[in-house]
A and B are shown apart, each in its own frame.
Chain A
Amino acid sequence: MKKNARKPKLKITLALCALFLLSACSSLGEPRGEENPSAAPSAAKGDSDKLYIYNWGDYIDPALRARFEDETGIRVVYEEFDTNETLYAKLKPGNTSYDLIFPSDYMIEKMKKEDMLEKIDAGAIPNLKNISPRFKNMDFDPDGEYGVVYLWGTVGILYNKDMVSEPVDSWNILWDDKYAGNIYMYDSQRDSFAVALRKLGYSINSTNLDELTAAKEALIAQKPLVQAYLGDPVKDKMIGGEGALAVVFSGDAVFCMQENPALSYAIPKEGSNIWFDAMCIPKGAKNKENAEKFINFMCDPEVAAQNSEYIGFTTANEAALQLLPQELKDNPAYTAESGALDKCEVFSDLGPFIAEYDKAWTEVLASKRN
C-alpha cells in the first residue's frame, strides 16, 4: 500500500527531471542565438521608466547615476561585472535583461561578430558631438555604429621611486634580478602575455605558436622574481609600499599616485596595450531609448569630466578634457606623453587560439618557482 502510494510521485519527479534535461540538452545542441529572455530583472514587460545597466565594478561616479534618475525620472537598476568574459558569459545565452553594457574593444568585436549588439541611434544622442573624432572610427567598430567610447587607457608599469632609482622605460626592468620579490604581474593571461610579447618585439595579438612559446618561457624565467600575480589588490600593495614595480592599468595608476606620491607610471618604449571601453546596447534590450538617454547624459562635458576625474581613466570626450584640473591632465598615467602610444596595440579577439594562451598561462602558473 505504502509503496503504491509513493510510486506515481516518484515517476512525476523523474518525468520532470527528464523534461528539464531534455530542454537543457536541446538548447545546448542548437546555436544559441535565439531570444530567450531569462527570469532576471526585466520579467515585467514594458517597464518603460527603468534602465538596466551592467557595468564594470567601481566604474561610474554613483552621484551621476542619482542625478540621471532625478533629471529624467528613469529608475536605474545597476549591476556590476569584473571581466569582459563574465559579461559575455552572462549575455551569450540570450539574456536580454540589460539595456546598457560597457564591453571593451575586443569584446565589442566579438559580440558584434556574434550579432549580440544593437545599432545605436546617433540622432538620439546630440552630445555625441563632444566625443573626439578619433574615437568614432575604431577598428573594432569602424563607423561608431555599435558603441560610444566611454573611457580609455593603457597598461604600463607603476613603480615606487623610493625603491627604483633608475629610469623606467622598458619591460626588461621586470626581468631584473635587483627587484626580485618586489615585482607584481597582472593576474590575467592576455595582459601578462602582452607584456612578454612586447618585450620580445612581438604583437600582443600574436597567433604564432613559436612567439607564444618564447613569451611563455620568458614568463617562466621571470617567475622567481615575481612576488605575486594580482588583480585589484595590487593597488593596495603598491600604495602600501609592499613592492617596487607592478603591471597596472593607467587609471588605477592615477588613483595610486594620488594616494602615494612616491609612485610614478611609465608606458615602456617597446609598446603596450591600449584599450577602450564603450557604452553599447545589447540585442533585444527592452528600454533602448532610455539607454540612449543615458549615453547622451554621460556624454555631457561636465558629467563626463566629473566621471573621469572620479574614476581616473581618460575620457574620450574632448569638451570634458577642457574642464579637468591641470594636475590630472599633467599626470603621465592620465595623459600619455606624445609618442608613448605609437607602439601600443588594441587587443583583438583571437578566436579558438585563445586556448593556446590558456594552456601556456597554466604552464607559467603551474611551474615551480625555484
Chain B
Amino acid sequence: MRGRNIKKAAYPYILWTALFVIAPMFLVMANAFSAADGSFTTANFARAFEPIYLAVMWRSVELAAVCTAICLLLGYPAAYFIARLRLKSRGALLFLVIVPMWMNFLLRTYAWLTILEKNGVINSALEFLGLPKLNLLYNSGAVVLGMVYNFLPFMILPLYTVLEKTDGTLVEAAQDLGASRAGVFFRVTLPLSLPGVLSGVTMVFMPAVTTFVESNLLGGNHFILIGNLIEQQFLTVYDWRFGSALSVILMLIILISMGAAELAGGAGEET
C-alpha cells in the first residue's frame, strides 16, 4: 500500500519529463531529419560532417577532455584531503567549495576578465614588480581556465561523497597486511572511489562540451565551439533544422563518451 502511494508521487515527475524533456527531444529529432518543405532528409547531418564542422566538434571535445582531466587531477586530491579531515573542518571546506555557486556563473566568468586582461589585476601586479606583461586573455588557456573554475565543484562533490563513505577498516586491513601507502591507495582507495570518478567525469564533461559562455567571454570568440555553433543556427541564421541536427550529434557524442566511461569504470571494478 505504502509502496503504491510512493509510486503515485512519481507521476508528476513522469509527466513533467514526458512533456518537457522527452517530447522536445522528439521535436528536435523531427526538425533534424526534415528539409525546408517538411519532407524527410539526411542532408542536415551530411552538412554537419563537412570538415569545417567536424573541426569545430573536435575542438569542443578536445577542450572538454582537457578540462575534465584537469578537474580530475585537481579535484581528486582535494576531495581526498577533505574526506580525511575532522568532521567540523570538512563542513567548512565543503562550504567553501559550494559558496561560489551561490553567485551566477556568468558573473564569475566576467570577473575573470578583469583579472586576466592587459591592464588587469595580474598584469598590474607584474608591472608593479617590474616584470613583463603577459597575454593571458583570449586564448585557449583562458577558455580552459574558465571551464575548470566553473566546473571543478562538480568533480569535487561526487568524489568527496564516495571517498567519505570508504570503509576505513578496509584501509586498515590493507595496512595490516603490509601494503605500502601507495599500495593502499592504488589497490584499495582508488578502486573503491571509481564510481565517484565516473560521476565526477560525467558531471564535468557534459557541461564542458556543450558550453558556449567561456569561449565567448574568455576566448574572445576566437574559439567557436559546438555550443556556439548551435546558438548561431537558432538565433542568427534561423536554420533550426541544421541546429537540431548538430544538437542530436552533440547528444550522441555525450552518450558515446558516457558509455565509454561506464565501460571503463565497469572493467576497473571487476579487477
Contacts and interface: CB of A to CB of B under 8 A. Distances in A.
B18 A17 contact: yes
A25 B26 CA distance: 10
Interface string B130-148: 0000010110000000000
A13 B232 contact: no
Interface string B83-112: 000000000000000000000000000000
Interface string A1-40: 0100110011001101100110011001100000000000
Contacts of A83: 235-236
Interface stretch (B49-57, B74-82, B175-183, B186-194): B49-57
B237 interface: yes
Contact of A227 (B14, B220, B239): B220
A263 to B, nearest CB: 15
A361 B232 CA distance: 10
A115 interface: no
A20 B19 contact: yes
Given A13-B18, A230-B221, A362-B56, A2 B11 contact: no
A248 to B, nearest CB: 15
Contacts of A223: 222
A14 B217 CA distance: 42
Given A17-B19, A17-B22, A242-B118, A362 B236 contact: no
Contact of A365 (B31, B38, B221): B221
B165 interface: no
Interface in B213-230: 216-217, 219-224, 228-229
Contact of B237 (A9, A17, A242, A355): A355
Given A21-B23, A242-B118, A365-B221, A28 B232 contact: no
Nearest to A10: B14
A67 interface: no
A242 B229 contact: no
Contacts of A229: 220-222
Interface string A352-363: 001100110111
A369 B221 contact: no
B222 to A, nearest CB: 6
B40 interface: no
A144 interface: no
A28 B30 contact: yes
Contact of A2 (B3, B38, B53, B55): B3
B119 A242 contact: yes
Contacts of B138: 227-228
Contacts of B4: 2, 5
B122 to A, nearest CB: 14
B235 A20 contact: no
B113 interface: yes
A28 B11 CA distance: 29
A303 B60 CA distance: 49
Q: Main secondary structure on chain A at its contact with chain B?
A: helix
A352 to B, nearest CB: 8
Interface residues of A, number: 45
A13 B23 contact: no
For A24, A237, A366, which residue has the most chain B Cβ atoms within 10 angstroms? A366
B238 interface: yes
A5 B229 CA distance: 47
A89 B239 CA distance: 11
Contacts of A228: 137-138, 219-222
A247 to B, nearest CB: 13
Contacts of B129: none
A85 interface: yes
Contacts of A24: 23, 27
A362 B30 contact: no
Given A17-B19, A228-B138, A365 B119 contact: no
Interface string B1-44: 00110011001001100110011001100110000001000000
A236 to B, nearest CB: 8
Contacts of B27: 21, 24-25, 28
A182 B83 CA distance: 47
A241 B53 CA distance: 35
Nearest to A30: B38
Interface of A: 2, 5-6, 9-10, 13-14, 16-17, 20-21, 24-25, 28-29, 83, 85-86, 88-89, 181, 187-189, 223, 226-230, 233, 237, 240-242, 354-355, 358-359, 361-363, 365-366, 369
29 contacts: A2-B4, A9-B8, A13-B18, A16-B19, A24-B23, A24-B27, A28-B31, A28-B38, A83-B235, A85-B235, A89-B234, A89-B238, A187-B221, A188-B236, A189-B236, A226-B220, A227-B220, A228-B137, A228-B221, A233-B113, A354-B237, A361-B232, A362-B56, A362-B232, A365-B221, A365-B224, A366-B52, A366-B59, A369-B222
The 9 closest A-B pairs by CB, nearest first: A228-B220, A229-B221, A365-B224, A358-B237, A17-B18, A228-B138, A85-B235, A242-B118, A85-B236
Given A25-B27, A86-B235, 16 more contacts: A13-B11, A14-B18, A17-B18, A28-B27, A85-B238, A89-B238, A187-B216, A227-B138, A227-B220, A228-B222, A229-B220, A240-B119, A242-B118, A358-B236, A362-B56, A362-B224
